[in-house]
Structure 1
Amino acid sequence: MLLEHSFPLEKSESGVISHAQKLVLQGEITFGHCFVAQFDERINNLEQLLFLIDGVFYHHPSIQHIQLPTSQWHASQAWQGLIDAFDSESFSRFEFYANPINGLKVQTRALFTERYEDRACPTRPVNLSGEVYRRFNHDIGKFISFKVADPLADLDVFHTWMHNPRVSKFWEQDWSKEKLQSYLANKLHTPFNLPLIGYFDDQAFGYFEVYWAGEDRIAPYYSWQAHDRGLHLLVGNEAFRGSRYFKAWCTAISHFIFLDWPQTQKIVLEPRHDNQRLLNQITKLGFIKEYEFEFPHKRAALVSIEKVKFYKENFQC
């Protein structure tokens, strides 16, 4: 369930309010951390209700639990959609943010299994297509989304980014358009890699490769678990650099990874050991630098975060 358009929200003493849309989600805060929402007949659809609940959690960090009582909400179609997703009128902050309805575009995918001589990896889903994730980020007031990279439609911007001296210093892929197109196509058709373009309010800002760690070159360098996923990334659009945007996209891409495959309990990265800007920023979000190791092409740092810590650090769960 992906919200296409936002509306401004303001914090109120007992909830949130949108003056522009004349929508409110007010309630009683009980036990110091539980929000019991009052019914409002102006909330017409599930997207609005999810946005308002997200706003309550964002603007009231002390709230850890929300209840929409059946006695008040039973006639609401928006509430019925919420019940279908959570199977309950009551849910915690963690349950809310860990539910695929909160950002993920759910797609039905076939599964496949591939065996190797030196390792056995579990059944995997085939790759996604189109837009896979969209959420509104209250910190920066913009939507952030990810779409599967298109080797033709995204080639010009991808080529520009790869020829940015700051990017090429770490990626070393300032290649011709033809070679970069082939690179994207290969990633797209290799089911263990998912190439994505990131957007802020539909303006492209960066490239992300999500991969299964067990099938990747990183596997021999750490004790991987069956459903670990890894991440390569770059921010090519200079307008979206800086700590505020870093926090927004790093939280969002990690959120997508954990939503996409619930069995995934850990995300790993292997940046160059001297990429101090990345290391300084990412450790503020709960990631840890475990150790350094020698890749054939670079000295790398193993950086990781586990699922429970991710939600605790980034959504105050």
Structure 2
Amino acid sequence: MNSLAARTESMNRRSGTLPDGRRWDALERGFHCQLNGGILIAIDYIPGGESARIKGPVDGIADAELDQWFDWLFALNPALQRIVVSAPGRIRTTAVKEISRVDFYSRPELWYRGNNGGNFPLQWVESESGLRHPLRLAPLRGEIYRRHFYSLGMDLSLRHLDPEQDLELFTQWMNQRRVARFWEEAGDIAKQRRYIDQVLQDPHKSPLIASFDDVPFGYFEIYWAMEDRIAPHCDAQPYDRGFHLLVGNKRFLGNRFTRAWLNGVSHFLFLDDNRTQTLVGEPRADNIAMLKYLNETFGWQKITEFDFPHKRAALVQCERDIFFRAMGGV
């Protein structure tokens, strides 16, 4: 089932629950939704509309009580751009609060578990090759991002690769024929350990393991573009980011999973530093499947093609403002 069909099916059901068990029931034009303690709120929303309104006893309710309902409603309705919250007895046009899709998904505390968030001060340093770039904060070990994807009914999580825990699985993935075709890094476990050690020692890269419901499915090697080989081809700015990837668990191949992890990894990179305005990538120009996904997803687009010594590459980019207006909806 594709993401659009999954969203449609979910919103056409007459009832359901959030991951924490709180219940919703469909109304003629909207939903009854449950807060903790059994309190009910009503959501007025016509599918396809840009605005929704939450009505109920919300005065004094903590923001966390409503956050999951915001996420659920935004995620399953890509046209929705703002949610207005009002309380009983107030004039309908008077809002207690209003939140936009952009502002909601820009809040790092809901999904982000890292140690940066744009708080690491700008300090210019010079590499051995003479390149001036910002000093990069060493990434936090362990889990750094987690978000529920309603169309899948699954959590996507990202954590720092641990060689002691992940090397055997990483080696299996690198030696799959379809992975080796694009990565050109097939080899035994000793070779893969040398590869990972090089990544871990490089301050402009971080190796991540991605999981759905804590089942590892892929490897994402994120990097700062200014210090990367892509820099001359994309006019890299100080906080531009990019990533290389592989999906090693074949259970998680296909459009609905690709849309989720592409959304989630992009979201993480923008949350990891609020100064990041552009994400970039350089997949092989003949990787037709990946380019198709990118061109259809959340602000990513192919810009041009160029040559590396080892491949013909496609330059792809995603701009922060476009991404946050379009994200969710999965």
The TM-score bracket by the shorter chain reads 0.7 to 0.9
Q: In structure 2, what is the Cα distance between the partners aligned to 1:106 and 1:25? A: 33
Q: How does 1:1-317 map to 2 (within 5 A)?
A: 6-7=20-21, 10=24, 12=26, 13-15=29-31, 17=33, 24-28=40-44, 33-39=51-57, 46=64, 49-68=66-85, 89-107=97-115, 113-116=124-127, 117-285=129-297, 286-315=299-328
Q: Is the 8 A contact 2:295 2:301 kept in 1?
A: yes
- In structure 2, relative to structure 1, the CA distance for the partners of 1:223 and 1:173 (3 Å cut) is same
Structure 1's 208 and 133: CA in aligned 2 closer, same or farther, altered over 3 A?
same
Root mean square deviation, CA, Å? 3.1
Equivalent residues, number: 296
Between the aligned partners of 1:265 and 1:16, the Cα distance in structure 2 is 38
Task: Quote how far apart the aligned CAs of 1:282 are.
Answer: 1.3
Which letter maps to 1:141?
A: G
Query: Against the structure 1 CA distance between its residues 67 and 224, is the aligned structure 2 distance closer, same or farther, given a 3 Å change threshold?
Result: same
Unaligned runs of 5+ in 2: 1-17, 90-95
Give the superposition deviation at 1:16. 5.6
Query: Any runs of at least 4 consecutive aligned residues in structure 1 with deviations exceeding 3 A, and if so which?
Result: 4-11, 15-19, 21-25, 27-32, 59-63, 67-72, 108-113, 116-119
Partner Cα separation in structure 1 for residue 266 and residue 210 of structure 2: 12
Alpha-carbon spacing, 1:33–1:44, altered in 2? closer, same or farther (3 Å):
closer
Alignment partners' CA distance in 2, 1:288 and 1:309: 11
Give the TM-score, by structure 2 length: 0.79
What is the rounded CA distance, in whole Å, between the counterparts of 1:10 and 1:124 in structure 2? Answer: 44
CA drift of 1:168 comes to 0.4
Query: Which of 1 and 2 has higher RCO (CA within 8 Å, sep 6+)?
Result: 2
Q: Is the 8 A contact 1:9 1:55 kept in 2?
A: no
Instruction: Give the gaps of 5 or more residues in structure 1.
Output: 73-87
In percent, how many aligned pairs have the same letter? 35
The CA distance in 2 between the partners of 1:29 and 1:121, in whole Å, is 47
Distance 1:23 1:123, change over 3 A: farther
The C-alpha deviation readout for 1:51-85, integer Å capped at 9, x for no partner, is: 2221122344454223445899xxxxxxxxxxxxx
Q: Which amino acid aligns with 2:81?
A: Q
Q: 1:99 offset after TM fit, Å?
A: 1.1
Give the whole-Å Cα distance in 1 for the aligned partners of 2:22 and 2:40: 11
Amino acid in the other structure paired with 1:115: E
Structure 1 letter corresponding to 2:51? H
Which residue does the alignment assign to 2:3? none
